[in-house]
Amino acid sequence: MIPVSVVVADDEPLGRQRIVRLLAQEPDAHVVAVCADGATALAAVRRHNPDLLFLDVQMPSLDGFSVIRQTSAGGRPAVIFVTAHDQYALQAFDADALDYLLKPFDEERFHRAYVRARERLHRPAEPEPAAADEGMHPDRLAVKREGTVYFVKIADVDWVEAASNYVRLHTGRETHLLRESMTGIGARLDPRRFLRIHRTAIVNVDRIRELQPWFSGEYIVILQDGTKLKVSRGYRDVVTRWLGKAC
């Protein structure tokens, strides 16, 4: 088993102790430094070059985001934010954090975050995206559920459904509610990968298994998992153009 070197940074003594105790239950985790403020955390990252950093947001001397900004990109560890404040989730997303643990969290939630980080660290490096596409469309969305903020990979989204003042992200057997309009989420999704087929539905084109003709020149979209979605008349031309390109 490949060891994962970890730095823990939290200004609350009980918070630091609990993270260290939970990491002791992970057989490959190796804690190399435990820090009570941002300046010490930054020094520990520069000294140990850890694989993973559990990082509080609000700390003396430097906050968590300042620690990340002052860490060189080449030597920056994977980051899991640990905080009692949910308002920093979008900033954490922009900082490319792997996860965002809201206090109080249970052991299972912590373990899932650690496993996700370990898998990311052991995954082969992916090629950099083309410069023209950088920053145009995010690759993850931050969603809140039961007081916890999760990052959902956009590539995992099968389709998006309107739900009053929210949208529902369908990812396999799971769904996630996101406070966003269909217009807003549509602007954040890559139009080369997502297709709006109805005022209440956007689909991942990679999940489309087939199109079936329907009445009055309309279509029924059938996804890989068997989900059937109707293409409304107002979006028929959009689907027809996509079908022409796909063929």
DSSP 216-239: GG-EEEEETTS-EEEEPGGGHHHH
What are the pLDDT digits (tens) for 133-156?
444 677 888 887 766 777 888 999
* Number of CB atoms found within 10 A of residue 27's CB: 7
pLDDT at 128: 43
**Structure tokens, 55:** 């990082």
Question: What average pLDDT does the structure give for the chain?
Answer: 85
pLDDT at 42: 94
167 phi, psi to nearest 5 deg: -125, 150
Residue 52 and residue 6: Cα distance in Å, rounded?
A: 5
Residue intervals of the chain classified under CATH 3.40.50.2300 are: 4-122
**Structure tokens, 8:** 């823990």
H or E element, residue 143: strand 140-145
Buried-exposed string 41-74: b where 16+ CB fall within 10 A, e elsewhere: bbebbeeeebbbbbbbbebeebbbbebbeebeee
Rounded to two decimals, the pTM is 0.58
Residue 37 and residue 140: Cα distance in Å, rounded?
A: 29
pLDDT at 40: 95
Sequence length of the chain is 247
Class of domain 153-246 (CATH, top level): mainly beta
pLDDT at 131: 39
| Position 171 confidence tier, pLDDT thresholds 50, 70, 90 | very high
What are the pLDDT digits (tens) for 106-133?
999 999 889 988 888 876 544 444 433 4
Residue 7 and residue 59: Cα distance in Å, rounded?
A: 15
What are the pLDDT digits (tens) for 19-65?
999 999 999 999 999 999 999 999 999 999 999 999 999 998 889 99
Residue intervals of the chain classified under CATH 2.40.50.1020 are: 153-246
Helix, strand or coil for residue 101?
A: strand
Q: Which fold has domain 4-122?
A: Rossmann fold (3.40.50)
Buried-exposed string 96-131: b where 16+ CB fall within 10 A, e elsewhere: ebbbbbbeebeeebbeebbeebbeeeeeeeeeeeee
